[in-house]
Chains A and B, each alone.
Chain A
Amino acid sequence: MNQKSRHAWLVFVALGIGLALLPFLVDAGLGRSWVRILDLALLYVMLALGLNIVVGYAGLLDLGYIAFYAVGAYCYALLASPMFGLHLPFWVLLPLGALVAGLFGVLLGTPTLRLRGDYLAIVTLGFGEIIRIFLNNLNAPINITNGPQGVNQIDPISIAGLSLGKTQVLFGVTFSSPHLYYYLFLILTLVVIFVSMRLQDSRIGRAWAAIREDEVAAEAMGINVRNIKLLAFAMGASFGGLAGGLFAGFQGFISPESFNLMESIMILCMIVLGGMGNIPGVILGAVLLTVLPEALRYIGDLQRAWLGHVVIDPSDLRMLLFGFALILMMLFRPAGLLPSRQRKRELSAAGDIAEQEQASVYDARH
């Protein structure tokens, strides 16, 4: 084994051990609530990677992505709660959630096929809201979603009789519920990462890159632009649906409120901040934007300790700092923290010049 591959192995093993021990370290250092935040971060990584397929790979700006998360979550919630008295097992519910969300992806993707850029963004934004409003109002005349009250008492995920909703002792080690969910989410996140990587390097991934660059030229290469776009919507949506199902089981309660426009924008920010189209960047963006707002809560405590009372509400501060961070990013690292190769090119000075040149040639001709 040569030096380089041995290094790669060491990093790999260290990373594996680190990820396996992480919830225990976090639990001991920061407390149980942070293990939950870790679980949520993993869900957001899955969501961000799903949206990255649509926005990063295929270049289709989707502002209603949270709708697919909602579809997955409601799919799980309605089939595993006292709502209809159904309690389907987890291994049926998760693929089903992904599948149904994928179908919704195609359903919502079809009317938008001719749209691009701003127009696509507006229409997808509308779709996202339509789903949320439907969930909010489908409690009459027949009660399907239980309306704004949401669905509660959702069955926790249980694998082979082992409920992840309760503390379990395995091999003499005590795992609390957030710990158990952490491991499940971690495994599924790794699967999602693997699928994302394979997709990027596949023929489909190349076709997505082509339609992102130039749809007309892509069509001239023999790419069926319509189907390839729908596939991007479906794949992205099914990742969202998967994460949604996990969220429902993990949280035990969902309501339409959890799936508002702000959430869609948050996920989009994760991939923009981290580096659109680049998997490590997207993961970093998702983790940062889940963990940092939580860390900001401590600012409230700090204020109380130093000043005796809370001057600025941490939740106000969150949006302020967030906006500030985005502006700084756009100024100094417009392609994201860990940009993709192509994105870097696109935003590099040389790329700009060539673009301008081409645009001026084009203008001269028309």
Chain B
Amino acid sequence: MSLLAIQHLSVSYGNIQAVSRADFTVDEGERVCLIGANGAGKTTLLKAIAGMLPVAHGAIHFAGQSITRLASHQIVHLGLALVPEGRGIFSRLSVQENLAMGAYIRRDKAAVQQETNEIYQRFPRLGERRNQPAGQLSGGEQQMLAIGRALLSRPRLLLLDEPSMGLAPLMVKTIFETIADVAERGVSVLLVEQNARLALATCERGLVMERGEIALQGAAATLAQDATIQRAYFGV
């Protein structure tokens, strides 16, 4: 059974329908990317899944439970974490405090401590600057912090909104390696990304969004070969 199942999902801002009748699933351990032009409704869709926007029609099921009407803080408890667009780090709190906030819903302090240390090993820059305010980190380091923080809630599904936005190419590479690594360890990933080529190379399956609708979906390798997609998103 799929971990996340979206059925006929529509989301509106007042009279404007931003997402209409979206249908897709994400399986346990699967990496799925959502690509599309600016304003196609990708972020809206992600926010609606995370409970940050009200759903107009349709249903969202996560781990066999309906989360359509749940608030986002409740959804986190079920194992669904969002790394928001713009990262949403607490810039005046220290790196350490930011990570501690990621583990807010957990009570097992020893395990949290160990996982925090693992994050410092994975991202040594975060370890070095653990007592500095997170706002002083570079964009890439902030993105790493945001991912590390989300992982500390022990999610089964990680939603990532434009993790490559505004980052240097080398940093983008590191971030995507991390995403692949996270998935390797059994966390499902739903990735919204502008960089379609990279997203399709990292994920197993792709969804293409156009004007609020899911226009195409299929294996990432197949989509990457698709002439229309190449023209529209790769700039070939």
Contact = CB atoms under 8 A, between A and B. Distances in A.
Contacts of B73: 219-225
Contacts, number: 95
Interface stretch (B19-27, B74-82, B215-223): B74-82
A358 B166 CA distance: 10
B76 A222 contact: yes
B104 interface: yes
A342 interface: yes
Chain A interface SS verdict (over half): helix
Interface in A341-362: 342, 345-346, 350-351, 354-355, 357-358, 361-362
A364 interface: yes
Interface stretch (A112-120, A207-215, A242-250): A207-215
Nearest to A348: B133
B11 to A, nearest CB: 17
Interface string B98-113: 0011101100000000
B139 interface: yes
A220 B82 contact: yes
A206 interface: yes
Interface residues of B, number: 33
B151 to A, nearest CB: 12
A220 B91 contact: no
B88 A216 contact: yes
A223 B166 contact: no
Chain B interface SS verdict (over half): loop
Given A216-B84, A351-B135, A364-B166, A358 B91 contact: yes
Interface residues of A, number: 30
B90 A209 contact: yes
A222 B80 CA distance: 10
B84 A355 contact: no
A314 B137 CA distance: 51
A4 interface: no
B114 to A, nearest CB: 19
Contacts of B137: 354
Interface of B: 50, 52, 71-73, 76-77, 81-82, 84-86, 88-93, 97, 100-102, 104-105, 133, 135-137, 139, 149, 153, 165-166
